A and B are shown apart, each in its own frame.
Chain A
Amino acid sequence: MTSLPLLVSELVQWRATEAEVEATPCSLIPSREPGTGEQYRFHFDMSKCIGCKCCVVACNEQNGNPAAINWRRVGEVEGGHYPNTQRHYLSMGCNHCVEPSCLIGCPVEAYTKSPTTGVVVHSADACIGCQYCVWNCSYGVPQYNPERGVVGKCDLCHNRLSDGEAPACASACPEGAIAIEIVNVAEWKASYAAQQTPGLPAGEDCISTTRITLPAHLPPDLGRVDTQHLQAEAPHWPLVFMLVLTQLAVGSFSLLWVLDAAGGLVEASRAGALLLGIASVSLAASTLHLGRPVYAWRALRNLRRSWLSREVFALSLFAGIAAVYAGALWVDLPHRGWLGVMTAVAGAAGLLCSARLYMVPARPAWNSFYTPVEFFATAVLLGPLFVSALGGAELRTVAVVGAGLQLGVQAMRFLWLSQSEAFELRAVARLLGGRFQNLFLLRMAILIGAGIALPLVVTSPGGQAWALALALGGEILGRWLFFVSVVPQSMAAGFSTSRGAA
């Protein structure tokens, strides 16, 4: 056959380099267990994959998952020009990262990384369904199962592996494109950054262990095919209300303390009681976000690492101290200033924790200083409007500052997003300027109308109440947009399938 007039280097585009072929073992699973400093990992050979999705079907069958949940997914990347076109497929389960962001962020410590195998395992019994891992993973690996109220993900079929059997995906693949191998973690940490896979996030935030063999000659424009098909993320209504209302409460309590200390406060007892009610209801309602609200208390378990745990702790503390402060205002307790300080500090801490927990690399549009500033601006806008509407004090100019700040934040954020090189950021601007354009503009108009025009023009308490109601609605809309417009980092999806789907 060598006599054939075929210039292999010229023709063969899809094959892996010879060095890669050499490095790839024939067996689907290793013949030994990982030793010290080693772990299992997936190897995926893109040059072999034909995109048949047998792995997806086999995974769903192995794990008894409904069709809408796919712990293994297949995405597509495409490049080149007819007829020199290449389309390749990415098959991915969990990457069993060296520093798993799902595990680090989980407030209830439902994730464990096996010290012997390195497999990242999720416990459905420990999980409360907060879905914070879903936001934290750059690959869209953990998926929420609404029927169960918990998330789930690929566990490398480690129970099959320990029996000497290949994982379902690897054993189903007709091309032998998926295999399990052992990696030396220290060596991988030193070398992983060199692995750049089209259609996959770089993974420096968690150090994915999956090794991917690429075809030898890829067109330079090889890229994801799902960029024109943006899907809105879930709105998380309980969180929308929780965020806006706690921010309102934090802003208002802080103002109560300032006014109280300055002696300019009237109607303090009513305002304090009402605010306490709002804060408590919003915190309680936020448990409705959980798949398993009855276990909400578990969210305090991981204060060491999880910003979600810290948020729950800080906001609970805020509510507790605020209750005492509201009581002090009610009975007109003397020397209550320090209680006010503590309320304001705990509230600010809660607000910052709230913002910080959204600042995850896997959701680039959230992962910026605009998030805390946006949350802070809500407090500065709604706090004074609330106090003013109750007739507590004349704080219209503060509200105008808050509205101006929020307008500025939103405008600058949009500019930043629309000019970004990163797909996940630019795509958010496309959503806000496209599918959600009217709602985004309405939100901005409300800021101008209720946050600036009304407070400056109308002085009656009724007018102030209208301003508050409108501004509150505007901020709720804003937070809804915050959730639905975010474009997560993930593996490139297929063309017909939804983002995050197989």
Chain B
Amino acid sequence: MKNWKQLIGLDNLSADYSFARGESTGYTAAAKIPDTWVPTTCGYCSVGCGIEIGVKEGRAIASRPHAAHPVNRGKLCPKGLAEHYTIDTDNRLRTPLLRKGGKLVPVSWDEALSTMVERFRGTQARHGASALGVLSTGQLVTEEFYTLGKLVQLGFGTNNYDGNTTLCMASAVSGYKATFGSDGPPGSYQDMEDADVVFLIGANIADNHPILTQYLHNKPGQVVISADPRVTKTAMRSDLHLPLRPRTDLALLNGLAHLLIELDLVDHAFIAAHTQGFEELRRFVAEYPPARVAEITGLSQEQLYRTASLLGRAKSAFLAWTMGVNHSTQGTETVSAICNLSLLTGKIGKAGSAPFSITGQCNAMGTRETGFTASLPGYRKFDNPADRADLARLWNVEESRLPRARGGAYPDIIEGAVAGRIRALWIIATNPLVSFPNQSLLRHALGNLDFLVVQDGYHPTPTTELADLVLPAAIWGEKEGTYTNSERRVSKVNRAVAPPGEAKADFEIFLAVAEKLGCREELYPGWTCVEDAFNEWRRVSAGRLCDYSGISYALLAEQGAVQWPYPAGATEGTERLYGDGAFPTADGRAKLTCAAWAPFPEQPNRDYPLILNTGRTVEHWHTRTKTKEVPILERLSPHAWLEMNPRDAQAIGLRSHDRVSVVSRRGSVEKVELRLTEIIAPGQVFMPFHYFEANVNEVTQSAFDPISREPNYKQCAVRVERSGVNK
């Protein structure tokens, strides 16, 4: 409300809008000049930008790029530039909340954790240890993932533990494992800059990893090829866009392998020395001649020849992908097929050459390495007795306590809850009520539970609202640790401000739960801070591919962010893996894999004639829990939309800005603003997934990669109906 001086205009708030010259900022709005800048790493995506939080009187008031950080070259994306707004919001959770008489009421930490442990233990006593499921995230610091993994697998004794990373990068993990014998992105961003050819497959980096676009087109003559059914910002800026039909990427990749062999653009010496399975692959891809591949993909044979020729003749080629590949029932196989191309041409382990997964979340890599979900910590294998023995020795526990197989992956935990096998669930820093496909099934699953704990920084979120117990967590900017980015770069995360109310760092919560369980001293002997966890992890990772043993907090302070492997005694990190051509497989050779292309599971028909694709927008992050609290980002992208080609719209009498319903066999999403645009092909529609208010995952399907268990978010059959007219 305005006071009388403002009403008549005597006061124009010039004090609030004044400017000043800050020593560290230059001339700027006086309110944006902080007392100190705290260096840290961005908490959104896995590009892993260095960022500084401006703190004034204990509050975060500004964000700016960390000029010296090697990744982002003094820039941030719009989310990063406004990241401080995520911290001090009205909906931060300040105390634990326990459901009593149907309502969530504030309780003490002691009551909260006692109840949690009692309920979890009770459920496990009645239904078996594996009746407890845990769903984690890619958002915590590495030290927390490491701590949580031990707590879940050794403390609670359940292996039904997975992260939202399975909704994200699991196919990259399993594809790497299938080809190279281990997870671990082989290349670096620098390789992207140094490559003669950059081949982006299902990767719209201009929207989703905008800071990486700085690495493109700097090298004279660099050619960027983009394979994407949608004419994305990235596709438009590529030199060659391959507008293939949805989910025909595996056919394209097999076809390219065919052409590379046919045109003799393969590296015979490398194949002979470092791979196995070439003959099988040669025979297999003979079934993917250009004519057939053109038929499947909708590309011209000329485009296929040109792409193969570019990849084969270039001195270096960087093959990068993101969710267009991973979000697929054939994701793992498609990743392996990408790796095939690198191996066939010998373009791996050399400057400018690598197959490379551009990861999603800020610390998805950290949980992949330490997390104890899809593998044992340090990329150790559940089914490898030597790995288990090694870990048991390091931890000084009985080997029998280590699980011999992976438990349920994310979708299997959800389906387990539907079937009644999972009775209690602990969800940490993720919001499945926006992000999980086929929401009606998820609601059914969560409704079946005896007890649901949600640990989050914010309340309400669509997920915390369903919880029996909500634990208030500190978030980015309020806690310490490390993140590891897409290029294996370990970057320090620092605390700039105190968490609100009684909120605690996830690390402290995990230790407190262990305390209640009575396993704190056993699992975390003498630990008081996250650095203790990091130092144990260094020992556990020593000698592994993801070797952190030479990295300490002191070294990170001195050298800045560094890339693993960084063994003890080394003086610098490792820019790329497999430079020696030795792969972590049984015979030291990478495996060329044969994977047959199949159409995506839910093909359009008369009732559901359109193929729905889902994705992101540059202004928002994942389920928008954070970015909806940032006014400028909401201003720039306030609501969901559906992209449709004008030719399809004309046929059903729709106009731009009409409100439409998107309907699939599983559900519908209503009142979505229609955007007619030629960036989407006729027969396809696209919708961003960030918006709970219009949640596209009401219509996406429960179809998962059989190996990685990653959902097939990118294609399902829908129809579009008018629900309101634009006037």
Check B678–A6 contact: CB distance below 8 A. Answer: no
A67-B634, A128-B9, A163-B21 provided; 16 other pairs, C-beta below 8 A? A4-B313, A14-B237, A53-B78, A54-B77, A57-B633, A61-B81, A62-B28, A64-B16, A64-B32, A82-B243, A82-B678, A86-B236, A87-B231, A163-B26, A174-B75, A290-B9
Q: Which of A4, A81, A434 contacts B678 (CB 8 A)?
A: A81
Check A57–B81 contact: CB distance below 8 A. Answer: yes
A487 to chain B, nearest CB (A): 15
Closest to B639 in A: A496
Q: Which of A50, A66, A149, A502 contacts B636 (CB 8 A)?
A: A502
Check B12–A87 contact: CB distance below 8 A. Answer: no
Cα A141 to Cα B81 with chains together (Å): 23
Residues on A with C-beta less than 8 A from B29 are 61-64
Closest to B237 in A: A14
User: Is B211 located at the chain interface by the 8 A CB criterion?
Assistant: yes
User: Is A159 located at the chain interface by the 8 A CB criterion?
Assistant: yes
Residues on B with C-beta less than 8 A from A83 are 231, 241, 243, 681
A299 to chain B, nearest CB (A): 12
Residues on A with C-beta less than 8 A from B6 are 149
Check B76–A54 contact: CB distance below 8 A. Answer: yes
User: Is B19 located at the chain interface by the 8 A CB criterion?
Assistant: yes
Closest to B637 in A: A496
Cα A163 to Cα B678 with chains together (Å): 45
Check A61–B237 contact: CB distance below 8 A. Answer: no
Residues on B with C-beta less than 8 A from A332 are none
Q: Which of A70, A81, A168, A496 contacts B638 (CB 8 A)?
A: A496
Residues 671-685 of B at the A interface (beta carbon under 8 Å): 673, 675, 677-682
Residues 456-502 of A at the B interface (beta carbon under 8 Å): 494-497, 501-502
Cα A502 to Cα B636 with chains together (Å): 6
**Per-residue interface assignment for chain B, residues 630 to 674, with 1 indicating a CB less than 8 Å from any chain A CB and 0 otherwise:** 011111111101000100000000011100000000000000010
Sample 20 A-B pairs with CB under 8 A, ordered by A number: A1-B314, A4-B196, A4-B310, A6-B310, A52-B618, A53-B618, A67-B632, A78-B679, A82-B231, A85-B236, A85-B679, A124-B12, A124-B17, A147-B2, A148-B12, A149-B12, A172-B81, A495-B641, A497-B638, A502-B635
From A129, A168, A290, residue with most partner B Cβ within 10 Å: A168
Residues 47-80 of A at the B interface (beta carbon under 8 Å): 50-54, 56-58, 60-64, 66-68, 70, 78-80
A78 to chain B, nearest CB (A): 6
**Per-residue interface assignment for chain B, residues 296 to 307, with 1 indicating a CB less than 8 Å from any chain A CB and 0 otherwise:** 000000000010
Cα A292 to Cα B240 with chains together (Å): 56
Interface SS majority for chain A: loop
Residues on B with C-beta less than 8 A from A228 are 655-657, 726
Check A51–B213 contact: CB distance below 8 A. Answer: no
Closest to A2 in B: B221
User: Is A270 located at the chain interface by the 8 A CB criterion?
Assistant: no
B316 to chain A, nearest CB (A): 10
Cα A180 to Cα B75 with chains together (Å): 18
User: Is A160 located at the chain interface by the 8 A CB criterion?
Assistant: yes
Residues on A with C-beta less than 8 A from B682 are 82
User: Is B88 located at the chain interface by the 8 A CB criterion?
Assistant: no
User: Is B13 located at the chain interface by the 8 A CB criterion?
Assistant: yes
Check A125–B618 contact: CB distance below 8 A. Answer: no
User: Is A5 located at the chain interface by the 8 A CB criterion?
Assistant: yes
Closest to B213 in A: A50
Q: Which of B81, B639, B656 contacts A58 (CB 8 A)?
A: B81
Q: A62-B29, A160-B26 are in contact. Are A175 and B233 (CB under 8 A)?
A: no
Q: A53-B619, A163-B21 are in contact. Are A64 and B237 (CB under 8 A)?
A: no
Residues on A with C-beta less than 8 A from B645 are 82
Residues on B with C-beta less than 8 A from A86 are 236
Check A229–B657 contact: CB distance below 8 A. Answer: yes
Check A87–B9 contact: CB distance below 8 A. Answer: no
**Per-residue interface assignment for chain B, residues 675 to 713, with 1 indicating a CB less than 8 Å from any chain A CB and 0 otherwise:** 101111110000000000000000000000000000000
Check B75–A54 contact: CB distance below 8 A. Answer: yes
User: Is A157 located at the chain interface by the 8 A CB criterion?
Assistant: yes
Cα A362 to Cα B577 with chains together (Å): 59
Q: A85-B231, A496-B641 are in contact. Are A175 and B82 (CB under 8 A)?
A: no
Residues on A with C-beta less than 8 A from B210 are 50, 52, 54, 174
Check B17–A61 contact: CB distance below 8 A. Answer: no
Residues on A with C-beta less than 8 A from B310 are 4-6
Cα A84 to Cα B241 with chains together (Å): 9
Check A149–B9 contact: CB distance below 8 A. Answer: yes
Check B14–A125 contact: CB distance below 8 A. Answer: yes
Check A229–B656 contact: CB distance below 8 A. Answer: yes
Check B677–A78 contact: CB distance below 8 A. Answer: yes
User: Is A435 located at the chain interface by the 8 A CB criterion?
Assistant: yes
A317 to chain B, nearest CB (A): 24
Cα A62 to Cα B206 with chains together (Å): 24
Cα A78 to Cα B233 with chains together (Å): 12
Cα A174 to Cα B82 with chains together (Å): 15
From A3, A11, A66, residue with most partner B Cβ within 10 Å: A11
Residues on A with C-beta less than 8 A from B313 are 3-5
User: Is A30 located at the chain interface by the 8 A CB criterion?
Assistant: no
User: Is A338 located at the chain interface by the 8 A CB criterion?
Assistant: no
Closest to A129 in B: B9
User: Is B598 located at the chain interface by the 8 A CB criterion?
Assistant: no
Q: How many chain B residues touch A (Cβ–Cβ < 8 Å)?
A: 75
User: Is B87 located at the chain interface by the 8 A CB criterion?
Assistant: no
User: Is A293 located at the chain interface by the 8 A CB criterion?
Assistant: yes
Check A125–B306 contact: CB distance below 8 A. Answer: no
User: Is A291 located at the chain interface by the 8 A CB criterion?
Assistant: yes
Residues on A with C-beta less than 8 A from B680 are 82
User: Is B223 located at the chain interface by the 8 A CB criterion?
Assistant: yes
Cα A417 to Cα B27 with chains together (Å): 47
Residues on A with C-beta less than 8 A from B679 are 78, 82, 85, 87
Residues 601-639 of B at the A interface (beta carbon under 8 Å): 618-619, 631-639
Closest to B220 in A: A1
From A57, A70, A159, residue with most partner B Cβ within 10 Å: A57
Check A64–B31 contact: CB distance below 8 A. Answer: yes
Residues on B with C-beta less than 8 A from A204 are none
Q: Which of A60, A163, A174 contacts B77 (CB 8 A)?
A: A174
**Per-residue interface assignment for chain B, residues 302 to 333, with 1 indicating a CB less than 8 Å from any chain A CB and 0 otherwise:** 00001001100110000000000000000000
Residues on B with C-beta less than 8 A from A57 are 78, 81-82, 632-633, 636
Cα A16 to Cα B639 with chains together (Å): 33
Check A6–B306 contact: CB distance below 8 A. Answer: yes
A129 to chain B, nearest CB (A): 7
Residues on A with C-beta less than 8 A from B557 are none
Residues on B with C-beta less than 8 A from A435 are 727
Residues 1-22 of A at the B interface (beta carbon under 8 Å): 1-6, 8, 11-14
User: Is A407 located at the chain interface by the 8 A CB criterion?
Assistant: no
Q: A54-B78, A58-B81 are in contact. Are A125 and B656 (CB under 8 A)?
A: no
**Per-residue interface assignment for chain B, residues 207 to 229, with 1 indicating a CB less than 8 Å from any chain A CB and 0 otherwise:** 00011011000001111000000
Residues on A with C-beta less than 8 A from B636 are 53, 56-57, 494, 496-497, 502
Check A295–B9 contact: CB distance below 8 A. Answer: yes
User: Is B390 located at the chain interface by the 8 A CB criterion?
Assistant: no
A332 to chain B, nearest CB (A): 40
Check A497–B635 contact: CB distance below 8 A. Answer: yes
Cα A174 to Cα B214 with chains together (Å): 6
Check A62–B32 contact: CB distance below 8 A. Answer: yes
**Per-residue interface assignment for chain A, residues 28 to 57, with 1 indicating a CB less than 8 Å from any chain B CB and 0 otherwise:** 000000000000000000000011111011
User: Is B62 located at the chain interface by the 8 A CB criterion?
Assistant: yes
Cα A14 to Cα B241 with chains together (Å): 12
- Top-10 shortest CB links A-B: A292-B9, A64-B29, A1-B221, A67-B631, A83-B243, A228-B656, A174-B75, A159-B27, A85-B678, A67-B635
Q: Which of A11, A53, A66, A150 contacts B12 (CB 8 A)?
A: A150
Closest to B16 in A: A64
User: Is A267 located at the chain interface by the 8 A CB criterion?
Assistant: no
User: Is B125 located at the chain interface by the 8 A CB criterion?
Assistant: no
B650 to chain A, nearest CB (A): 13
Check B78–A52 contact: CB distance below 8 A. Answer: yes
